[in-house]
Amino acid sequence: MDIQTILSQIDIGSYALPEFQRGYVWNRDQVRKMINSLYRGYPIGSLLVWVTPTDNDITRGDGVLTPGSVNLILDGQQRITSLYGIIKGKPPKFFDGNQNAFTGLHFNLIDESFEFYAPLKMKDNPNWVNVTDLMQKGVGNFIHEAVKTDKKNTFLLEQMEKLNKINNIKSIDLYVQQVAGEDKTIDVVVDIFNNVNSGGTKLSKGDLALARICALWPDARNEMKKILAKLKTSLYNFDLDWLLRCITVYLTGKAYFTELADIQIIDFQKGLNETIKLIDKILNQIGSRLGLDHDRVLGSRYSIPLMISFLKRQGGTFKSSAEWNKLMYWYIHTFLWGRYAGATESVLAQDLNIIESGEGVDGLIRLLRQNRGDLTIRPEDFLGWSTGARFYPLLYLLTRVNHARDWDSGIELSDALLGRSSSLEVHHIFPKSVLYKYGYSKNLVNSLGNYTFLTQETNGKISNKEPSVYIPEFSKKNPGVVETHWVPVDSRLLLVDNYKEFLAKRRDLLADSANKFLESLVNDSIDPIEIQDYANRETQVVINQDEEEILQEVNLWMKDKGLAEGIINFELTDEDGTFLMNVDIAWPHGIQSELSEPLALLIDESESNHEIANRNGYKYFTSPEKFKAHVEEYYLKE
């Protein structure tokens, strides 16, 4: 069947997507390579469709389907969706993804290459042809309109063969293999999908379980997405697999998705409502008792299904604050030691058996001690670096629960969120620029021992001053305030030459504080806590991420747009090879290699570094938002 006919079949509802299919995930590079292959006559593979009785409950989207039977695409969604977008100029009705991946594809009539629209080199350049315009208008009309605007332009007429070759992509035949028969149940079809989809993302066990549920309750996925969206507005970012695991444990007391096979839909619906109530309760306890009040400091998220099972057995709550404190003690140790970092299902099943046996939290703690040998925090445990380190949430926790105070204002930081729009930020005690200047490595510069949290205003005042300068000033202004952050104030340790010794001393102080707090939890010797509703707050706070995480997200954003990723921590040198500075992330050859200016993202850098970047030919940006706006304006805008 030729491509144009397949696309027409999508329009009339004869071809569609099964509900269990994931959304569109291709990037621009994959789209470009596919069109290039078709242009050059290379094969792009066949399609696999499931011929099944028409049933809106098992199809994705709200498009009208043909009566009787429908062809659900099992293998070829990304290819067909891309072709539909390029040829029709819009996504199909079942589309779920980012249509920028196939918007604005152009063809170069000189070198016969495909690229996405870049104004600087394509605007008013007759060498570049909009592929979608050509596909929609046809070669004859396309040339007629082009000549009308410029009657002297005979260039397109000379390139007729190439233009026809692009337009004829619509007529290329793709082999369509069908899966049909009464024996082809959804379970069988999903197995087939996974077997043929070796080059793509296979369906997980959770996807399969959700596919079964959606077959009986079509709104299941949307209802669960609404729950996740609500949690996201409260700064908790979870995925469908996690939520489904929570529901599974609530309904069955088991860790495995296969246990949902015999659950009635009405029970699933009721269980979903009860599960979210318990999730809210657990998040509120974690936020209030531990200060872990948003996603980036919420470790061991797969401890939450276990807590759900435990709470259900207790009738939905605990009789005393002491039981909550002991559960929080267990929870902290699960993320410190990576209890659920590996084979989640099997470990969760083991812990659920402890709950089922009636041993309670004491049994869970005993199991952790058996696995670890000892639950004491040691100074070397804080040797990690970056906000991705396992002990990073503990550092944040200690700041919140021990009422650390801001160095300049003296206010307690226990009620402040870590965010750009609030008042709390990650602060490097020894500034990065200073440490890099002295030759310290990236892992030492971003060591947990060099992190603390301050208000945005105070962080800005310190800038890149050395601690030997600014810490004595704060100690004089607010005596004892620096020590609330477990920062040694020995003047000798505040010198850059003694940075490693400073880190060692601070790790000692942090470990001591952590052990004291953990003991107060398990012994229920902490002050009474007011439980706040973190799970249902509505906030527009944007989390102030560590630079490394921000830069990774910028690269993911670029990749999603089909553009080149930058070089993180790029070493900028002069013509003689002399080191000048570390650029947070750079495109030394431009986003379109050798065709656009070098770009750089400089976060919290000094004016002198801005000047160095500018002097060496870089257009620089001081925030991801400004960088993205520039990319969208000059590289993505049609």
pLDDT tens column, 589-620:
787 644 467 899 988 776 777 888 888 889 99
- Give the per-residue pLDDT at 276: 97
- Give the per-residue pLDDT at 18: 80
Write the pLDDT tens digit of every residue in 143-190: 777 666 665 566 677 788 899 999 999 999 999 888 787 766 665 666
Closest CA relative to residue 44, chosen from 35, 57, 52, 53? 35
Other Cβ atoms within 10 Å of 118 Cβ, number: 20
Cα–Cα dist 122/452, whole Å: 48
Residue 542 — pLDDT band, cuts 50, 70, 90? very low
Write the pLDDT tens digit of every residue in 244-277: 999 999 999 998 887 887 899 999 999 999 999 9
Residue 204 — pLDDT band, cuts 50, 70, 90? low
Stronger pLDDT, 385 or 616, i.e. the higher one: 616
Mean predicted confidence (pLDDT) in 6-27:
84
Q: Is the pLDDT of residue 365 over 50?
A: yes
Strands (DSSP E) contained in 60-205 are 69-75, 105-108, 114-116, 128-130, 176-179
Mean predicted confidence (pLDDT) in 48-58:
79
Other Cβ atoms within 10 Å of 137 Cβ, number: 16
Write the pLDDT tens digit of every residue in 335-350: 998 888 766 788 899 9
Mean predicted confidence (pLDDT) in 565-578:
72
Q: Is the pLDDT of residue 419 over 50?
A: no
- Give the per-residue pLDDT at 451: 94
Residue 4 — pLDDT band, cuts 50, 70, 90? very high
- Give the per-residue pLDDT at 577: 56
Other Cβ atoms within 10 Å of 143 Cβ, number: 19
Q: Is the pLDDT of residue 315 over 70?
A: yes
Q: Is the pLDDT of residue 416 over 70?
A: no
Residue 128 — pLDDT band, cuts 50, 70, 90? very high
DSSP conformation class of 447: B
Write the pLDDT tens digit of every residue in 32-46: 999 999 999 998 888
- Give the per-residue pLDDT at 621: 93
- Give the per-residue pLDDT at 544: 47
Mean predicted confidence (pLDDT) in 276-283:
96
Mean predicted confidence (pLDDT) in 200-206:
58
Mean predicted confidence (pLDDT) in 268-293:
95
Q: Is the pLDDT of residue 476 over 90?
A: yes
- Give the per-residue pLDDT at 194: 62
Question: Residue 252 CA to chain centroid, in angstroms?
Answer: 30
Percent of the chain surpassing pLDDT 70: 86
Name the least confident of 334-348, 474-488, 502-516.
334-348
Q: Is the pLDDT of residue 498 over 90?
A: yes
Q: Is the pLDDT of residue 541 over 60?
A: no
Name the least confident of 183-187, 276-280, 406-410, 427-431.
183-187
Name the least confident of 206-215, 343-352, 483-492.
206-215
Q: Which two tokens stand for residue 32?
A: 């470009």
Can you say whether residue 508 is alpha, beta or left, with left for phi > 0 and alpha for psi between -120 and 50 degrees?
Answer: alpha
Q: What is the mean pLDDT of the chain?
A: 85
- Give the per-residue pLDDT at 199: 47
Write the pLDDT tens digit of every residue in 60-105: 777 788 888 888 888 888 899 999 999 999 999 888 877 888 889 9
SS3 535: coil
CA distances from 176 to 11, 15, 17, 49, 70 (A): 17, 12, 15, 7, 14
- Give the per-residue pLDDT at 198: 47
CA distances from 631 to 357, 557, 563, 592, 627 (A): 58, 11, 9, 11, 6
Cα–Cα dist 319/325, whole Å: 12
User: Rounded to two decimals, what is the model's pTM?
Assistant: 0.65
Q: Is the pLDDT of residue 394 over 50?
A: yes
Amino acid, single-letter form, for residue 246: C
